[in-house]
Amino acid sequence: MSILDFDTFGLRLLCIDDSKTQLLLYTSELDGMFSVSTASTYEEAIAQLTSSQPDLILLDMNMPRVSGLEFLDILSSTPHYAQIPVIIVSGENDPAYVKEAFIRGAADYVRKPYDSEELILRITRIFRLVSGHRDAAEKRTAGKSAQILLVESLADLASAKDNENTGHLQRIGLYSREIAAAAAASIRFRTDISEEFVQKIADMAALHDIGKVNIPEYILSKEGPLTDREFEHIKRHTTDGARTIDMIRLSFPDYAFLDFARDIILYHHERWDGSGYPEGKTKQDIPLASRIVAIADAFDTMTLQRRYAEAKDFDTAFEEILAAQGTVYDPDLVVVFRLIKNRIKDIYDKNRDQG
């Protein structure tokens, strides 16, 4: 069977380019032969990744904020998306740049301006080569609900910019579940926290930093103090992450459970006294799930060994959470946290990073 005989019906193509003109061109050239979706920002790209589950990606190399090379790294480190072939379509002709794209996992490199018929042949050729991988992926996901697959794929994307490949995101879910379950047994929170709430926070706490996918790697890995401008980039991960969830909700209007994740993502850096970000919310105006994840996130972050900061021991980190009672953290949740110290220590001991 020749390339031209290969059946492309139903194959999903995601085109990422910051030029709306180029995206319109892709649609006119490719729609009909393939199922085409487009994204002009990385928030849109992530939303499309999770909602349309593309079989192949066309990626512009020179995107704002996060480069094409960085996005290749994100995809290659994300189990749900590592097998998706990526064709770089770019006006960048530096041989070293092209070579780097292939080193980082690009399946092909097409220089602009390109011949549309040749582009279609290149896409079809790659689809033929990876059709077996696509069938295997479908078998692996068979039996899983769309909701579970969506949460898993979002968690994978969040882990792509995890704190230096640690178990941070896994522990966030474990700590958050433990705090929520203990709070549910207290007079203060028993009417606010159901079994469903506990399960949701365990599943979705790991998504809290999904917006960091949009932060340039040089900022996330910087060893010295951040400049004010760099810190503003960091702060935007809350609103960027929430915007990504909003875009996914457009494709899944019935998935109200994502609103729970959105609250965590947007508000986990708010502070009880109103000095947090992005909105400066105070006290009970901060969603309860966000208040719980704030404690879990801060505690685990303190105990992480990083290039630019020494890890604090368990007791030091624990006492710092207690010391911020009523300023940074919900005072009643800090009481709960103090009462379950032994359970928190058990999670800490059993899930510590090896190295």
Do 115 and 72 share a structural domain?
yes
Distance separating alpha carbons of residues 351 and 136, to the nearest angstrom: 31
Residue 263 pLDDT > 80, yes or no?
Answer: yes
Do 189 and 92 share a structural domain?
no
Residues facing 38 on adjacent strands = 15
* Residues 221-236, mean pLDDT to the nearest whole number: 84
The rounded radius of gyration (Å) of the Cα atoms in the chain is 22
Most confident of 62-66, 67-71, 179-183, 303-307: 179-183
Q: What is the CATH number of the domain that holds 110?
A: 3.40.50.2300
253 against 284, higher pLDDT: 284
Q: What is the pLDDT of residue 5?
A: 55
Rounded to 10 deg, the angle between the 341-350 and 168-184 helix axes is 160
Do 164 and 48 share a structural domain?
no
Give residue-wise pLDDT tens across range 135-174. 555 544 554 566 777 887 888 787 776 655 678 888 999 9
Query: Which of 64, 58, 155 is closest to 108 using CA atoms?
Result: 58
Residues facing 39 on adjacent strands = 16
Do 158 and 69 share a structural domain?
no
Q: What is the pLDDT of residue 191?
A: 94
CA distances from 14 to 49, 128, 147, 326 (A): 8, 17, 21, 47
Split at pLDDT 50, 70, 90, the class of 249 is: confident
> Residue 252 has which token pair?
């899944």
Q: What is the pLDDT of residue 1?
A: 43
Report percent pLDDT > 70 for the chain: 90
Cis geometry, peptide bond prior to residue 253 (ω within 30 degrees of 0): no
Do 155 and 122 share a structural domain?
no
Question: How many of the other CB atoms lie within 10 Å of CB of 137?
Answer: 16
CA angle 199, 202, 205 (to 5 degrees): 135
Do 219 and 137 share a structural domain?
no
The predicted model scores a pTM of 0.82
Of the residues 95, 112, 141, the one at which a domain ends? 141
Of the residues 110, 141, 172, the one at which a domain ends? 141
In a domain, 32, yes or no: yes
Q: What is the pLDDT of residue 355?
A: 58
Count up the domains in the chain and report the number. 2
Query: Which of 256, 252, 290, 250 is closest to 270 using CA atoms?
Result: 290
Distance separating alpha carbons of residues 42 and 214, to the nearest angstrom: 7
Do 187 and 46 share a structural domain?
no
Sheet holding 12-16, edge to edge: 35-39, 12-16, 56-59, 86-90, 108-111
Q: Answer left, alpha or beta for residue 92, where phi above 0 means left and psi between -120 and 50 means alpha.
A: beta
Do 187 and 121 share a structural domain?
no
In a domain, 331, yes or no: yes
Q: What is the pLDDT of residue 3?
A: 45
Query: What is the extent of the structural domain holding 107?
Result: 3-141
Lowest mean pLDDT among 25-34, 40-49, 100-109, 211-220: 211-220
Of the residues 141, 166, 182, the one at which a domain ends? 141
Length of the chain measured in residues: 355
Span between the terminal Cα atoms of the chain, in Å: 51
Query: Which of 175, 153, 346 is closest to 255 using CA atoms?
Result: 153
CA angle 298, 156, 184 (to 5 degrees): 45
Most confident of 64-78, 102-116, 301-315: 102-116
Q: What is the CATH number of the domain that holds 249?
A: 1.10.3210.10
In a domain, 355, yes or no: no
Do 199 and 136 share a structural domain?
no
Kindly report the average pLDDT of the chain as a whole number. 87
